[in-house]
Amino acid sequence: MTPPMVLTIAGSDSGAGAGIQADLKVFAALRLYGTSVITATTAQNTRGVHDVFPMPGNVVSAQLTAVLEDMPPRAAKVGMLATAEAAAAVGAKARAGLLPNLVIDPVLESSSGRRLGVVSAIERLLPHATVITPNREEASALVGWSVATPADMAGAAAQLASNGPKYVVVTGGDMVAGEDAVDAVWTDAGARFLHYPRVVTRNNHGTGCTFSAAIAARLALGDAVPEALVFAKEYVARALIGARDWKLGGGQGPLDHFGWSSA
């Protein structure tokens, strides 16, 4: 059987825990064929981001055109957009209806604190999104006020939904409070919360990329958005548990995308 195709548009992580590399691992683990458009190359490892090298807008556009004219995806995921030109190239394809089931993970800052993306670049894509998945820091940057509590997360999700995306998920896995990792989800029916037992581990590099890539993968396989969100939440938890005792690098290590530790 020919596998469904799904596209990731994101930055390259030389440590392979996040970005393009993490997305392609998720797609392969979930039995989809992943294609890619690289928006930036980063020099990074488990300890942090050393440098970021954005791709010129025409290079991003050329990659998009090459993939889309021959290998149209059933879903697409957008991660780091380092420049407004890259966002314009992606936006043009989205407006043309060539990026179905579009999931946007607005990567604005690395887990080590390095600024990566451009807020305006993300904002111009929101009307075309099926799902967006900012964490609390990214949501704060997008709405212009501090998102700290679950109530704040729900309010930020509602505000972002007014800009056009059908579903907004403000993730709260970085919020150390209580025993659960809590995400706020906004739909036309209002706000609700996704709960899952928190996994305590230093190996959590790429959780946001993994979550959004898993959503895109399940949408490509035909899931409705609510089911895709639940699946992605559980998939991330399993990947965190699987890598909990790994010792890859001296900082925040990657996730167990393939379930190696449970095999």
* Per-residue pLDDT tens digits for 186-230: 988 889 999 999 999 999 999 999 999 999 999 999 999 999 999
Average pLDDT, the chain: 93
Which pLDDT tens digit goes with each residue over 77-86?
Answer: 999 998 889 9
Mean pLDDT calculated for residue range 34-41: 97
User: What per-residue confidence (pLDDT) applies to 115?
Assistant: 59
Mean pLDDT calculated for residue range 154-167: 95
Whether the per-residue pLDDT at 256 is higher than 70: the answer is yes
Q: Where are the alpha helices (DSSP H) in the chain?
A: 19-29, 57-68, 84-95, 119-123, 136-143, 150-161, 207-220, 225-242
Starting at the edge strand found earlier in the chain, the sheet holding 167-170 runs: 48-54, 33-45, 5-13, 75-78, 102-104, 131-132, 167-170, 180-187, 190-197
Mean pLDDT calculated for residue range 77-103: 94
User: What per-residue confidence (pLDDT) applies to 262?
Assistant: 80
pLDDT band at 263 (very low <50, low <70, confident <90, very high): low
Residue 180 to residue 175: CA distance in whole angstroms:
9
Residue, of 176 and 17, whose pLDDT is higher: 17
pTM confidence score? 0.95
Distance set, CA 237 to CA 66, 87, 196, 246 (Å): 35, 31, 8, 15
Lowest mean pLDDT among 35-44, 54-63, 177-186, 193-202: 177-186
User: What per-residue confidence (pLDDT) applies to 149?
Assistant: 93
Which pLDDT tens digit goes with each residue over 116-160?
Answer: 567 887 888 999 999 999 999 999 999 999 999 999 999 999 999
Q: Which of 123, 135, 34 is nearest to 77 (CA)?
A: 34
User: What per-residue confidence (pLDDT) applies to 121?
Assistant: 77
- β pairing state of 33-45 and 190-197: unpaired
